[in-house]
Structure 1
């Protein structure tokens, strides 16, 4: 299939390079955390690009930035987008690429005066990266926020999202007004870098995402007894770290027996108390995060981790406590939209790989409100959340043109 029209790639390139300079520091990382100076500068730049394109600029109560074409408030829209906020020291493509490709696609429809069956919206969601917990903008748009959740949202410095938005002249409670009804959306599409090595390792340019992993994250404590490292026999110790070490060695078994090929588990942080070289550790605190794309599998892994930790604690005379820090349900992308993306790629002569997303995305929220799908482009060596993040320009161009034709199938009049 020859595409009826293509993106203006030099224009997209210029936008990517321009936004990659906003919030950049000496370490070459980007610092556009939600409602920081860098984020606000990025929002101002994006608003200027939307207005320069002759598109309707709309900022909802959750500070999500929309670029609209053909909007009449009556027909459901086809929405595409991602997020422009970053983690500290980020790369230049995570989230941002999806926002700028969405903007470029909508501009192309306007440039070529394509008749629309449904309006188009390009959107940049607020705080996907989690300064205040993550997914604030897409949760607001999907109606998943409550006044309690808004008041509880705080960053690591104990600054509340209410305070952060107020400092920027915004009212966080207005996020409750950003909720959309399902009938206002025809479909949602998100283009994103993979943030993993699969596409790069396989030499495939397009990932068609079939599901997004859910997760549970715990703060775990194993409590024994601190004691003298020289005078306490090994058989008489209540060594909390030995409990952690044994559990860490059990993780692969748990995944093999109760998980799936998509299952992953990570102990990313551990701290020993009292933390002295000559003292048997009396307490260990550690994080446990487990992900899978199947809610039943995730539930089985939850139970298996709890049973294993309880067994280890009982055998080693330790006390086991844990606190649930977060839980996200897995979601499946819309089957019809998966087929649309795959068929369009095939017609354009693009090789694809169907795959799950191990990382969370705004699509995880939108999939509960409307038909939703995702397109991945490769990440070099799977690098992300660092200045080393990179995707070849050819892969970006390929993904953007695929997104354009998918939107054409979803929104244009036949």
Structure 2
């Protein structure tokens, strides 16, 4: 049966969906913290990919893996364009169990629901589990490879916070770095990309609205900063004669609200992330501070202005504390507006399902922003409890998950029913 004809109306099997998610979260789980550790191209990440690949094959899908370990499972016509649906499997260190993995599990469940109902799409649907979305190496390599958006200069120098290069990590998992440039899909091959994700913020829960339809995604800049002073004895060095690298870091940190006030908007975000101090000893003045600064905004001009202000404040703090400063730009992702027609389609389907919804921006980066450069893309948000994400306490209620999954299923049926 094809198009809009089916034996019964497709619906989500919530127990099966729970099983898919639990299976993915069987990899990289830390029972001591409740967190999950599947950094991109780690052994746990690759094992989870192999497990999911097996589930796609069990579901009767045509499965393939590309040169950066993106996994695809195709349902429907073997030829012609496809609707891609999915998210990522990798996590941040000690991350939560819903970020990314839920969207992958929902994508597979939607296809299983279609098959159970005897629905065969006119346009193929491909379940996709993207690789390295969380930015261990500074980008979103999986979706960048699909969209043909890999910057070679970045690719050849990219490394993680511990100094491992991206190319070394790929080779360690049996992947040829050069194959990353052979993964691009043609726009003729991809009709649309849809992603379901937890909000990772408090808005939907606070408003008691089950669905967010994302209209735009913030850009992200990532810089690495090194402040160098002089390590010295903390008891014998007068306060006005110090070259304290941590003091320079702290002085810059206090300027962040002013930077946003002068150059930003309510969508601006500046975050000091990983920090390393040397010598990092209680009785020694730190002689070196290395830290990351992540800047985000939904407007690219504002994002540029914020970054320039950040650099200026870092240099000013270094000067005041007798330090040298070095700033390296690690990566840049521009803000993206998602496809308005897909937003309208999702809004229509949400209304048909009786689901209240709002349109909203995303302050976090997602594969959908990269995929928008290749094809019309859409992102569905469901609420996050207390707005917590990237932490073991990350949680979404199953009633909200079911609502989002049903909206995704309804949208896929509608999109795939027309050639």
Q: TM-score, normalised to structure 2's length?
A: 0.88
Q: Does 1:32 align with 2:27?
A: no
From 51, 71, 89, the equivalent of 1:65 is 71
Alpha-carbon distance change, 77 to 245 in structure 1, aligned in 2, over 3 angstroms = same
What's 1:218 paired with? Answer: 223
Matching of residues 11-410 of structure 1 within 5 Å = 11-27=16-32, 28-73=34-79, 75-145=80-150, 149-156=154-161, 158-224=163-229, 234=239, 239-273=244-278, 275=280, 281=286, 283-314=288-319, 318-410=323-415
Query: Which ranges of 4 or more aligned residues in structure 1 deviate by more than 6 Å?
Result: none
Give yes or no for contact 1:150–1:173 (8 Å, CA) kept in 2: no
What's 2:3 paired with? Answer: none
- 1:235, CA displacement in angstroms? 5.2
- 1:195, CA displacement in angstroms? 1.7
Alpha-carbon distance change, 285 to 349 in structure 1, aligned in 2, over 3 angstroms = same
User: How many residues end up aligned between the 2 structures?
Assistant: 411
SS state at 1:386 partner = coil
What's 1:5 paired with? Answer: 10
Alpha-carbon distance change, 272 to 338 in structure 1, aligned in 2, over 3 angstroms = same
- 1:121, CA displacement in angstroms? 0.8
Counterpart-to-counterpart distance in 2, 1:354 and 1:36? 35
- 1:384, CA displacement in angstroms? 2.2
- 1:19, CA displacement in angstroms? 2.5
Counterpart-to-counterpart distance in 1, 2:112 and 2:188? 25
Counterpart-to-counterpart distance in 2, 1:274 and 1:158? 19
Deviation digits for residues 208-260 of structure 1 (CA, Å, limit 9, x no counterpart)? 11111112222224445566656666555555444433322221121122101
Give yes or no for contact 1:147–1:173 (8 Å, CA) kept in 2: no
Give yes or no for contact 2:76–2:122 (8 Å, CA) kept in 1: no
What is the alpha-carbon root mean square deviation over aligned residues? Answer: 2.8
Give yes or no for contact 1:81–1:102 (8 Å, CA) kept in 2: yes
SS state at 2:291 partner = strand
What's 2:417 paired with? Answer: 412
Counterpart-to-counterpart distance in 1, 2:241 and 2:154? 46
Counterpart-to-counterpart distance in 2, 1:348 and 1:253? 45
Point out where structure 1 has 5 or more consecutive residues left out of the alignment.
none
